[in-house]
Amino acid sequence: MLSLALSLVLALGLALPALAAGVPVTGVSLNETTLSLVPAQTAQLTAQVTPANADDPSVTWTSNKPDVATVSETGLVTAVAEGTATIEVATTDGGYKDVCTVTVTNDYVARVELSPAGPELLPLGSQRQFTAQVIYAHGSQGDQRVTWASSNTQVATVSEDGLVTAVAEGKTEILALSEGKDQTGSPVMAICQLTVTPAGGSSTQDRLALSANLVTVQGGQGVETQLTAPEVLVHRGDQDVTDAYTLSYRWTNSAGQELGTQAVQTVQPTSLTSMTITCTVTAASKTDTAQVLTDACRYQLRVYPGTQLTAAMDLKQGTLTLEQLKNQEGTLSVLEQLTKGDGQQANGVAGLDRVVFDLSTVTGQQAGVFSAQDQTAYYLEQTGTDPVDLLSQLTFTPKEKGTYTVQFMAYGARTYYGQLTILVDDQPVVPPVESDVTCDGTGFTFTGSDFYHATDADPVLAVTFGQPSAGRLVRDLAYGAGVRDEQNTYYTNAASDGQFHISTLSYLPQAGFTGQVTIPMTLTTRSGQKTSDTLTVFVTSKSHSDQFVDVNEDTVGLWAANAVDFAHHFGLVSGVADDRFAPDTPMTRAQLVTILYRAAGSPQMTVTTNFEDLDVGSYYYNAVVWATVMGVVNGTSDTTFSPDNYVTREQIAAILSRYADAMGDTVTTSGTLNAYVDKDQVSDYAVQPMIWAVDRGIISGTTDTTLSPKSTATRAQVVVMLHRYLAP
C-alpha cells in the first residue's frame, strides 16, 4: 500500500513534506500575569517554554510602553513612571506568546516615626536631639526629609536637623512634617508632647503630661470605633511619679454630653460629618487629696462611608488561609470584594492596599487561632522591595466548633471597616469541580451540568461568582446585551422566583483580549456545605469565523472573526445567508437599528411610527419604532426613515452614544480629536460622540492620523465597534 501511495505521489508530480527534525516549541508561559511596582522598582519575569527539551527555547522580550516599564533581554522588568504597560515574551520557534500586565504607581508616605515619641520632659536650658523616619507604604525610599517645628517657640525651639532647646517652663509640641505626601497629596506629621521643667529638676510641683493633645481618628458611619485615652505621665521636676496618682477619664462629645469613664471609649458615628470627642484625664494623688491634676486630649473623628464590610467562611477541616476567603455567598470578602470598593469608584476599584486586624476585638477564641499580630498591617500584594506581611500568608487553625470574629480596617484611597467571621464545624469539605475552560473571544454560557455533579452524594446547588480578572459576567446575554446585576449567585437546578439559573449567565472576554482569566467562585451543596475554587479560562484568538465562510484570514478574519461570531452567537446579527456574512458590504440604517434593538433585549413595542417608507411587516419595523422612541436614531425627515441608506463612521459614533445613554451608560467626553488630521471633517453633531467613541476604544482611526468620518462603514466594522462597546 505504501509503495502504491509513493507511486501516485511521483506520478502526479507532488512533493512529500519534509519530516520535522528535532523537538519543536509548543508554548510559553510566564511566572506572573500581573505586577504592581513603584518607580525604579524591579521584578524578574521567567518564561517557561514547553516542552522543556525543545531544540530552540530562546525567547525575546518587549514592552509596549517603555516609558512606563522596560524589560531586559533576560526578563528583568524595571518600573519607570506611573501608568500601565504590557510585557510580552515570544518564542523564536513558533512565535508563541504570553503577556504580563505591569501597573506602576507612585509610592506614598504611610507614617512618620519620631524618636523620642513622647511625652517628654526636658529641663530648662538643656537640649535633646530628635530624629524622624519617614515610612513609605510600599517600601520605596523616596524623599526622607522632614521639616521640624515647635508649636510654642517661647517654650522650646527646634533646629533644621531636629535639635530641641528648652527656653522656658511650659508645654509645647515638637512636629516633624514629611516632605513626601500621603495618598491624598498631603504631608504626614508626627507630634511629640514636650514639657519643659525647671532647671536641675529642683521643683517639687507635680505636673501632668499627656502623650497627645490632639489625635485624628478614622471612623465609619454607623460602625463602632474605639478611642484609647492618651498615655499619662506625672512628673516632679525630672522624676516620674505617675504611680503615686490614681487616673480617671471622662469622655464628652462636642455638645458636652458625657460618653463614658473608661480608658477605652467606643463611639458610633451616625453621620458623615466629622466630630470632636474630648478625653479629660484627672490624676488624683493617692496621699494628698488636695493634689489633683487635669488635662485633656481632643480626638478629631473623620467619618467615612459606613457600609460594614464582612468576610465569612465555613471551615470544616484543615488550616484556613485568607486566600480561601474569596466570594462567600451573601458577603463581601477581604481579598476580592474589598478591592472593588463600595461600588461608587471607577470600575468599582477603591485602591485598597492593606488590612489591619484588631485582635482586641476577637470573640470566640475557643474556635481557633488566628495568626495575625495585634494592630499589624497586612498587604494585599508585595509591591516593594522590603519584606511585608501579606494577607494571603495569614492562617486560621481551628480548635473546636464555634464562631470566630475579628474586626479589621482596610486602607487605601478610602478607608473601610469590616468584620471577619469564621464558622468552625466538623463536616467534610465539598471537593472542587474541574476548573479549566478554553474559549475564544466569543465567550461562553454556563450550564448546570458543569457543576451539578461535583459530588453525587451532595450535588452542588448554587455557585457564587466573583469578578473575573479580565472581561465580565453578564446575565441574559443570549437575549441581548445582557444586564450587569448585583446578583452573583446562580443555581444549577430549577431556580425559584428571585433566583437565576446558571444557564442565564455568560462569560464575555474583553474585546481583543487573549490569555488566562481567573473567576473566583464558591460552591454550595444541597446540604449547605461550601467550598471555594477558581475557574480558570484560557481565552484564544481566531482567524476565521466558525459560522461564516467569508470571514476568514483572507478577508476580515484576523480582526473581525471574534466580533462576528460573538454577535451571531448571542443573536445580535444574522448573515446574508446561512454561511455568508458579507463583511465588506456597507451597513444600512435598518440593519444597524435592528442590531441595537436586539442588544437591548428586543423590547415589545405597542406604538407605531409616521415614517411612510417603512413596511409594517419588515424585520426592522419594531427596531425603528424602538430606536426613534428611545431617541437613538432620528428620521431623515419627518416622514421618512430611509432604511436602506448606508451609515457613515461618524453616524455610527453618534448612534452608539445615544444608545449608551438610553441604556443608562455614562457618556462623558474629556479628550480631543487633535491626533487626527481630518478632525475638521467631523460634523458638528458628531464631534462629542466621536470623541467618546475614540476614548472608549470603540472606534479607531483608519490610519494612525485619519478618522475618515464620512466613510461608509461595513458590516464587519460595525460589528467590531459593537463588540468593543459591549465587551470593554
Q: What is the pLDDT of residues 520-538, one digit of tens each?
A: 888 777 666 777 778 888 8
Q: What is residue 455's predicted lDDT score, i.e. its pLDDT?
A: 45
**Least confident piece of the model among 290-294, 412-416, 459-463, 590-594:** 412-416
Alpha helices (H) in 449-517, listed in sequence order: 449-452
With bands split at pLDDT 50, 70 and 90, how would you rate the model's confidence at 16? very low
Instruction: Report the SS3 class of residue 491.
Output: strand
**pLDDT exceeds cutoff 90 at 164:** yes
Q: Which cell is 497 given? A: 422566583
How confident is the model at residue 171, as a pLDDT? Answer: 84
613: cell is 417608507
| AA identity, residue 416 | Y
Q: Residue 343's pLDDT is what?
A: 37
- The answer to whether 432 and 454 are in contact (CB under 8 A) is yes
Q: What is the structure's pLDDT at 497? A: 58
Asked if omega into 51 is within 30° of 0 (cis), the reply is yes
Query: Is the pLDDT reported for residue 677 higher than 70?
Result: yes
Q: Is the confidence at residue 1, as pLDDT, over 80? A: no
| pLDDT at 31 (0 to 100) | 87
- Please state the rounded mean pLDDT for residues 478-499: 58
Q: How many Cβ atoms from other residues are within 10 Å of residue 540's Cβ?
A: 12
* pLDDT tens figures, 686-711: 888 888 888 888 888 788 888 888 88
The pLDDT value recorded for residue 714 is 86
Count other Cβ atoms within 10 Å, centred on residue 725.
22
Residue 60 has pLDDT above 90, yes or no: yes
The per-residue pLDDT for 63 is 93
Mean pLDDT of 508-519: 84
Q: What is the mean pLDDT of residues 482-509?
A: 68
Look at residue 141 in the predicted model and tell me its pLDDT.
63
User: What is the pLDDT at residue 12?
Assistant: 35
Rg (the chain; Cα; Å): 33
Give the pLDDT of residue 314: 53
Section 446-459 average pLDDT: 58
Residue 392: the pLDDT is 67
**Encoded amino acid at 673, one letter:** L
Mean pLDDT of 579-586: 84
The pLDDT tens digits of the residues spanning 121-139 come to 888 888 889 999 888 776 6
Please give the grid coordinates belonging to residue 518: 481567573
Burial of 271 (0-12, 13-18, 19+ CB in 10 A): exposed
Please state at what angle helix 621-629 crosses helix 589-599, rounded to 10 degrees: 70
Q: What percent of the chain has pLDDT over 90?
A: 10
- For residue 399, give the DSSP letter: -
Strands (E), 484-607: 489-491, 505-508, 515-525, 530-540
At residue 284 the predicted structure's pLDDT band, cuts being 50, 70 and 90, is: very high
- What band does 619 get if pLDDT is binned at 50, 70 and 90? confident
Q: Is 391 helix (H, G, I), strand (E, B) or coil?
A: helix
Half-sphere exposure at residue 383, Cβ-oriented, CA atoms within 13 angstroms: 24
Separation between Cα atoms, residue 582 and residue 649, nearest integer Å: 18
First to last CA, the chain: 56
- Tell which residue, 181, 192, 179, has the closest CA to residue 152: 192
CA angle 525, 531, 536 (to 5 degrees): 110
The sign one gets for the Cα dihedral 637, 642, 643, 645 is negative
Contact indicator for 82, 16 with CB cutoff of 8 Å: no
Q: 69-78, 280-289, 481-490: which has the minimum mean pLDDT?
A: 481-490
Kindly report which listed range (106-115, 297-306, 393-402) carries the lowest average pLDDT score: 393-402
Mean pLDDT is highest, among 32-36, 201-205, 314-318, for 32-36
Residue 278 has pLDDT above 90, yes or no: yes
Helices (H), 552-612: 557-569, 589-599
Mean pLDDT of the region 565-574 = 78
pLDDT of residue 236: 79
Residue 164, strand partner residues: 128, 158
> In percent, how much of the chain has pLDDT > 70?
77
Structure confidence at residue 429 (pLDDT): 40
Report which of residues 415 and 665 the model is more confident about.
665
| Mean predicted lDDT score pLDDT of the chain | 76
Alpha-carbon distance 112 to 182, whole Å? 11
Q: What angle do CA 172, 176, 178 make, to 5 degrees?
A: 155
224-262 pLDDT, tens digit each? 788 999 888 888 776 788 899 999 999 998 888 899 999
Crossing angle of helices 687-695 and 649-662, in 10° steps, is 80
pLDDT computed for residue 15 by the predictor:
40
- For residues 528 and 458, give the distance between their C-alpha atoms in angstroms, rounded to a whole number: 9
Asked which of 1-10, 76-85, 318-327, 663-672 is least confident by mean pLDDT, the reply is: 1-10
pLDDT bin (cut points 50, 70, 90) of residue 634 is confident
User: Which residues is 473 bridged to in the sheet?
Assistant: 507
pLDDT value of residue 665: 73
Secondary structure tally for the chain: helices H, strands E? 8, 44
Average pLDDT value for residue range 645-668: 84
Q: How confident is the model at residue 723 (pLDDT cuts 50, 70, 90)?
A: confident
Q: Which residues, 6+ apart, have CB-to-CB distance to 453 below 8 Å? A: 459, 460
Can you tell me which residue has the cell 462611608? 305
pLDDT at 126: 87
| Mean pLDDT of the region 87-112 | 86
Residues 403-437: tens digit of each pLDDT: 777 777 776 655 666 667 777 665 444 444 455 77
Phi first, then psi: give them for residue 526, nearest 5 degrees: -60, -35
